[in-house]
Amino acid sequence: MSRVPSTWVTMTLTTRTDQIRAEETPMQRPQRPDIVRPPQPDEIPDRPLAMTGDIPTVAIRSNGQHPFVYRKMTIGPTGRSRPRDGDIVRVVDRDGLPLGFGLYNTRSQINVRLLCSGIEPPGEEFWRGRIDRALALRHDMLGLPAVTNAYRVIHAEADGLSGLIVDKLDDVLSVEIFSLGMYQRIGPILKLLLEKTNTKHFRVHVDERIALAEDFPGRPLVSPKLPPRVTIEENGVRFRVKFEGSHKTGFFCDQRENRKRVSDFTAGKSMLDLCCYTGGFGVYALKRGNASEVTCVDLDEKAIAIARDNANANQVKPNLIHADAFNYLRTMGSNGREYGVVVLDPPKLIPGRDDISSGKRKYFDLNALALNVVEPGGLMLTCSCSGLLPAEEFVILIRAAARRAGRSVQVLGVTGASPDHPVGLEALEGAYLKAVWLRVNERTVPTSETDELLHRNDGPDDDS
């Protein structure tokens, strides 16, 4: 049973946040004051943002500013007030000097997720300030509402709200939660976000792997009238977002700038969009980039169906292939098929530290096969969203793949996620997306040499 120092409330969300009302759920029997029954299926966790009473203190071994304090770096609670999982705690160093405040969870490898520094505890104004600052980046600096109705609103540690990701997809806030403390407070957080983004609906997703790591039953949450899908638009290209069965928040806003840039190279060219998911790069190439022909390949049959909807929404006709990318590339290579532009954007192939070696091998094999089908002088964009694979190592891996494929390759640049996915200087591993732009030139003599990188099993401490 989750123990939190507040009640759970039923929230009825209708069309605007000024219509949100909270009805306190009656207790069935007297309970100890520090234990509250878990939320029922129609309830939203509603732990208050304002802090009251004594704030527990937790000492840590490190005085760094990284937002993650792992279990091995935690000394433990000090003083008479003992923290419960999900509490906001005062964080001090081994000498008792104040470092700031964070979300506490003994059941997670990340014992403390730092929220802020200083000596003033974070109340409701702290949460409002973090949200306002995040929106100022997207609205005032980046001007995203002028080009799209789909963008990231909150990007976890980089926006000072560790464990919380929020995308705005038309009239829906699509939320991913990575922290017990954030899950407990998602009700009032959503209330603020709905009000400030002028949205009507929400959905909250907790990945099963994250729920196990944080050790809490994070069930999905949705607003009562959540539409099954929405239509979004970016740079004049339309996409259907279907929430049921979708990955993460439902749409990959992080590739927005890369989709646009690829379309600048596709005029009159044939293009192969590998691991296309719902056809983002391919639809851009036809709609905005005037490609002569686009083939989209993905193993997910449901994703291919949505890609077909996206093509129809833009009145374009890519070749949609339901197939495994490895097998398709082997077949095309054997047939001598070549493309002017190739995009390779696979799912995360290194989800955890135990997968580093096998994941690198998959990236190597995929890139070697893809390089083989690029016509001489053509463009290849190859991506990795594995946070455990640093950009430098990814480029070295691509070099090994080029040697194996027997291709002369130039690196034109390395980009990352769209700027609504910022990276905090104290958590550089947040630069999870690597997009390497290659000019693929003449064929050379293939070599069986593989880079020692494929056999290394080290990487950053984080597994994002």
> Could you tell me which of 413, 411, 339 has the C-alpha nearest to residue 369?
339
Q: Which CA distances in Å does 411 have to 6, 25, 314, 395?
A: 55, 60, 32, 9
Mean pLDDT computed over every residue of the chain? 88
Q: Burial code of 182-218, b = ≥16 C-beta within 10 A, e = fewer? A: bbbbbbbbbbbbbebbebbbbbbbbeeebbebbebeb
**Which is it for the CA torsion 443, 446, 452, 456, positive or negative?**
positive
C-alpha triplet 404, 407, 411: angle, nearest 5°: 105
User: What is the rounded (10 degree) CA torsion for 435, 166, 132, 421?
Assistant: -10
Given pLDDT bands bounded at 50, 70 and 90, which one contains residue 457?
low
Identify any residues that bridge with 239 across adjacent strands, giving them in sequence order: 232
The pLDDT of residue 262 is 98
Q: How confident is the model at residue 384 (pLDDT cuts 50, 70, 90)?
A: very high
Higher-pLDDT residue of 181, 18: 181
DSSP state of 148: B
Q: Which two tokens stand for residue 135?
A: 């929106």
pTM over 0.75: yes
> Does domain 229-245+252-455 sit in CATH 3.40.50.150?
yes
Among residues 454, 397, 463, 456, the alpha carbon closest in space to that of 429 is found at: 463
Superfamily grouping for domain 57-117: PUA domain (2.30.130.10)
Q: CATH homologous superfamily of domain 9-48+124-222?
A: RNA methyltransferase domain (HRMD) like (3.30.750.80)
Give the number of other CB atoms < 10 A from CB of residue 337: 15
Contact between 203 and 186 under an 8 Å Cβ cutoff? The reply is: no
Lowest-pLDDT choice from 238-247, 336-345, 375-384 = 238-247
What own/partner pairs with CB < 8 Å and gap ≥ 24 does 212-218 have?
213/108, 213/109, 214/105, 214/107, 214/108, 214/178, 214/179, 214/180, 215/105, 215/107, 215/108, 215/180, 216/2, 216/85, 216/107, 216/180, 216/183, 217/38, 218/177, 218/183
Collapsing DSSP to helix, strand or coil, 55 comes out as coil
Is the separation of the CB atoms in 164 and 155 below 8 Å?
no
Instruction: Over range 342-363, report the average pLDDT.
Output: 95
Ranges of each domain in the chain: 9-48+124-222, 57-117, 229-245+252-455
Percent of all residues in the chain with a pLDDT value above 70, rounded to a whole number: 87
User: Residue 449's pLDDT is what?
Assistant: 56
Alpha helices in 264-355 (DSSP H): 280-287, 301-313, 325-334
Check if the beta carbon of residue 453 is closer than 8 Å to that of residue 396. yes
Q: Residues 286-312: what's their mean pLDDT? A: 96
Instruction: Tell me the two tokens of residue 51.
Output: 């802090």
Asked if residues 462 and 447 have their Cβ atoms less than 8 Å apart, the reply is no
> Is the confidence at residue 6, as pLDDT, over 50?
no
The pLDDT assigned to 145 comes to 96
